[in-house]
Structure 1
Amino acid sequence: MSDKPFDPNPTHRNFYGRRRGKTLRPSQKGYLAEDLGPLQPKGISIADNPERRPVSPAEIFGDDRPVWLEIGFGGGEHMVHMAATYPGVGVIGCEPYINGVAMLVGKIKSAAVQNVSVHPGDARDMMDVLPDGSVAKAFLNYPDPWPKTRHHRRRFVTPEHLLPLHRVMAPGAEFRVATDIKSYVRQTLDEVPRAGFELESLRAGAWPDWLSTRYEQKALREGRSPTYMSFRRI
């Protein structure tokens, strides 16, 4: 199977780590080959939309429902949970890690959720083309920590990523960040308000509608305390 559909914009600007992990199981290869295509929004990758024309949420979901954006959905547990809990919302997930994409598609099939769209690539491809103020809520759950100081500039919580996110989010929209890395918390609290968001809550316990993910469970097993931050787009 070609890698081309999963590498829409291979540039230096990535804020994520590896694109592939362990060898995919036959069922996961089937998810990618047979089930991913209908879930992918059209016109998001640079290859499909080189002029970067705007792509409205209505083109993706067929109506004007509220749209939520998950930036790096990992194995997809949280994204599917949110889609099932809020069926009137359209949930877009972006994830360049192909193993995670395969896991998500399997969960989508099992849960039979219909209100999802999957971009197997960089979230900035999506933010490049979404119209101003079109996202009602965004999630950044346990992002790649880039723990070395010299790599902190590659974290999502930098102006390069936060300013485009601010543009596509509606006034008053909520931006949630969850991480177990203390320096990531500090950088988030420093950079996100500068990008036009107001801190609403800072908590050690998760949100009421949160679903624990494998990354949270790993952090707890290894003795790291998660932090959950909510911001409002000013």
Structure 2
Amino acid sequence: MSVEKISAETRTEFGKGAARRIRRENKVPAVIYGHGNDPIHLTLPGHETMMALKRGGSNALLEIEIDGTTQLALAREIQVDPIKRHLEHIDFVAVRKGEKVTVDVRVNVIGNAAPDTLVVTENVTVQIEAEATHIPEQIDIDIQDARAGTQIHASDLKLPSGSTLLVDGDTLIINVTEQMSAAALEAELEEAESEAGIERDPSEDEVAEAQDEAKAMDASGDTASEDAAE
């Protein structure tokens, strides 16, 4: 993975008021923890940091320049405004080149399974240990032409050199099942609703069918009345 370089300023003001003032200047308050040192409180350029995090992915590694020195830092917690979508605060953990870190890496499914199958991703990430400057952005899983019944477990994943799997090897990642027909799915849903005591409103087809049956019964009744009158 690439290392993004960012210049930072040390921060001496704290609290919500100070954080708001920093954000009004299109900057981001941040802090770096780790290696038994005191936390380093920083102010980062907003747009530049946002782009660096996007390029770096979920485990973005930044080389942060602080007062003439540099510090490798792995993004751990990123707070984003839910409405305006700007960065509100970032927690980093300090790392060194060659140091092993524990990270959750996204799995990426490629290819298409066999026809009439359903591919279920049971776990979207997998936890591994990797060298801080060689964290994979994703782990690819090829399911091309996989048939129903195919299961891919954590132990089946191809990890980059130097990485170690930290979850149980039997952890199910991908499960390929037979695709259920619409009729079977509807029947299963009706059974589940019946067991739960849920009454559904009739569908348009069911209403139309009931109306046709009613009309047929009325017509039959009218015919019977005419026969009796004769």
Q: TM-score range by the shorter chain?
A: under 0.3
Task: Identify the structure with bigger relative contact order (alpha carbons < 8 Å, sequence gap 6+).
Answer: 1
Structure with greater strand share of residues: 2
State the TM-score, normalizing by the size of structure 1: 0.24
Identify the structure with the greater helix proportion: 1
